[in-house]
Amino acid sequence: MIKRKILRTLLAILFCPVIAMGQNETQLLTFEDAMQIMSEKNPALLRVKQEIQQKEYEVKVKRGLHLPQVSLSAQAVSMSDPLHLDLTPVSEAITPLYNTLGNYGVFSGVPNSDPASNSIVPVLPDDVSTAAVRKQLLEAGEAIEAAEWDQMIQEKNFATVSANFMWPVFTGGKIKGANDAADVQIEMSREDLRKTEGALLTELVTRYYGLALGVQVCDLRKQVLEGMQNHYNDAQKLFDNGMIAKVELLHATVSRNEAERELKMAERNIEIIRSGLAATLSSDSLKQVLPASHLFINKELSDLSYWVAKAKSANPQLKQIEGKRELVEIKHKVEKQEYLPTIAMMGNFNIVDKDLSPYAPDWLVGVGMKWTIFNGMARKNNIKASETQYNQVNFAEQKAHNDLEAYLTKLYQELNMQMEQKAELETTLELAEEYLRSTEKAFNEGFATSTSVVDAYTKVAQVKTLRLKVLYQYDVALACFLQTAGIPEDYIAYCSGENTLTDFSE
């Protein structure tokens, strides 16, 4: 058994340089290196990473809602007519009054404004008072008649440049809700990245170890072809010596040709799988990749309860459902706060103007409030709608938990089944190889037919191929298992170590 393993290892080591000499672009690539390349270049991962950056900027946008908004505004206005105020009727109404009182009015009790005599005569005589008041009234009447009673308030054309600010003081929790929702959304984007990484890990495992399987199967097909060629040579010698019938030689020939055909199919299959791996890695520099890491299987796994608990705390899809519930809770709080008013401070400063009314102020500040008293029961119905959304998320979470546990159980049983098959196939392979040796010996001695030898070769190849497929199915199932558990990054830890058996292990 040990000799056989050593021989297989040497064949694999020799196999790779032969390919490398035949094609200059062939490269050996470990699974860890493949993961690194995929992480750096796969467009699906890069897209999600860009989405996270987008969410980070959106969080900063929401933070800015707490700050005042300052802006500059400019306007040039042309009106159909200038604005003016014509008070001529007032002038015409009060001028006769001034003229009448200035000519015919009689007044008394006018204080004496002369400091030298006002202590003795504090009030002027009636005739002097009348003359003084009439004089003032006549002067005022003349001033009223001479005044411009049609005043220009605003020219027809004018322009202004002003600075404005708006600062929300109280919004009923809307700004806080927007910030909380942005925080939740960025966490959901990070969980989306983890989900994408897990899905791509499974894709990488499928294609990387699929290529490893293809190379190993191709190697087996070469061994089978070599065995069939040796069997054909033996059959030819026996036929030439008259020890077997021609039908036995023909059967050996057909078996050799069939082995050759299957080898060509295996080689074509390698190119198909390699192209899929190149697509996952998204690297033009890796044209002819050969996997340096081997197919593997683990000896044991932790109890299912451990994985279920791990999945419920780390599965990214469950995390996203939790995020959706948080968003619904935030929305529900904001809907309730729609009953509250919105209050904001505002201001305006006139920086420069042309032909603006002199009556317009240079600056203004103020506080505004908007309070919707009734909006057709929309607020109440929105609150009810958010409550139903909360229930929907809860039901979705319950189903996700149930489906998750069922899927983990399925994968866990498949992994254990493959570990059991691996152990059973080792015994089967030993028996098949022993049967092949016995059949070849019997054929060379004339006690067995070519059909028996070919069947023995085929059985050994089938068992070896099946063993490789069991390892491959285990590797893919393990990637799905760890992805579902929410810890795909732990896959590397299961690829090697004391708990790991590779396709070259004892």
CA distance linking residue 452 with residue 207, whole number of Å: 36
Let me know: does 2 contact 506? Beta carbons within 8 Å.
yes
Annotate 204-242 with three-state secondary structure: HHHHHHHHHHHHHHHHHHHHHHHHHHHHHHHHHHHHHCC
Residue 14 is predicted with a pLDDT of 40
In a domain, 430, yes or no: yes
- Over residues 207-226, the pLDDT tens digits come to 999 999 999 999 999 988 99
Residues near 241 by beta carbon (within 8 Å), at least 6 away in sequence: none
In a domain, 104, yes or no: yes
- Over residues 233-271, the pLDDT tens digits come to 988 988 888 888 889 889 889 989 999 999 999 999 999
- Final residue of a structural domain among 103, 132, 148: 148
Residues 109 and 245 in one domain: no
Say yes or no to pLDDT of 21 above 80. no
Residue 8 is predicted with a pLDDT of 44
CA distance linking residue 117 with residue 251, whole number of Å: 157
Number of domains in the chain: 2
Residue 285 is predicted with a pLDDT of 67
Over range 327-341, report the average pLDDT. Answer: 90
In a domain, 278, yes or no: yes
Say yes or no to pLDDT of 20 above 90. no
Residue 327 is predicted with a pLDDT of 93
Residues 219 and 327 in one domain: yes
In a domain, 407, yes or no: yes
In a domain, 76, yes or no: no
Q: Bigger pLDDT: 116 or 265?
A: 265
CA distance linking residue 28 with residue 202, whole number of Å: 21
Residues 144 and 286 in one domain: no
Residues 97 and 65 in one domain: no
Q: Any idea what DSSP says for residue 486?
A: T
Residue 109 is predicted with a pLDDT of 76
Quote the domain boundaries for residue 96. Answer: 88-148
Q: Among the listed ranges 20-34, 41-55, 139-153, which one has the minimum average pLDDT value?
A: 20-34
Residue 85 is predicted with a pLDDT of 86
Residue 286 is predicted with a pLDDT of 67
Residues 393 and 433 in one domain: yes
CA distance linking residue 292 with residue 209, whole number of Å: 10
Residues 60 and 94 in one domain: no
Residue 142 is predicted with a pLDDT of 82
Residue 94 is predicted with a pLDDT of 84
In a domain, 281, yes or no: yes
- Over residues 98-114, the pLDDT tens digits come to 888 878 777 777 787 77
Q: How many residues does the chain have?
A: 506
CA distance linking residue 378 with residue 339, whole number of Å: 11
In a domain, 132, yes or no: yes
Say yes or no to pLDDT of 4 above 60. no
**pTM higher than the cut 0.85:** no
Residue 402 is predicted with a pLDDT of 94
446 backbone φψ class: left, alpha, beta (φ>0; ψ -120 to 50): left
- Please give the sequence-ordered ranges of beta strands (E in DSSP) within 357-433, or none if there are none: 363-370
Residue 506 is predicted with a pLDDT of 45
Residue 12 is predicted with a pLDDT of 43
Residues 346 and 437 in one domain: yes
Q: Bigger pLDDT: 63 or 98?
A: 63
In a domain, 153, yes or no: no
Residues 105 and 227 in one domain: no
Residues 54 and 114 in one domain: no
- Over residues 162-192, the pLDDT tens digits come to 999 999 998 888 899 999 999 999 999 999 9
Residues 410 and 378 in one domain: yes
Over range 371-387, report the average pLDDT. Answer: 87
Residues 286 and 430 in one domain: yes
Say yes or no to pLDDT of 454 above 60. yes
- Over residues 300-311, the pLDDT tens digits come to 999 999 999 999
Residue 443 is predicted with a pLDDT of 82
- Over residues 415-441, the pLDDT tens digits come to 999 999 998 998 998 999 898 899 888
At 250, give phi and psi (nearest 5°). -60, -40
Per the prediction, the chain carries an average pLDDT of 87
The CA–CA distances, whole Å, from 270 to 213, 277, 488 equal: 9, 10, 26
Residues 443 and 323 in one domain: yes
Parallel, antiparallel or unpaired: strands 500-502 and 296-298: antiparallel
CATH number, domain containing residue 262: 1.20.1600.10
Paired tokens of 351 = 């920086």
Over range 335-359, report the average pLDDT. Answer: 90
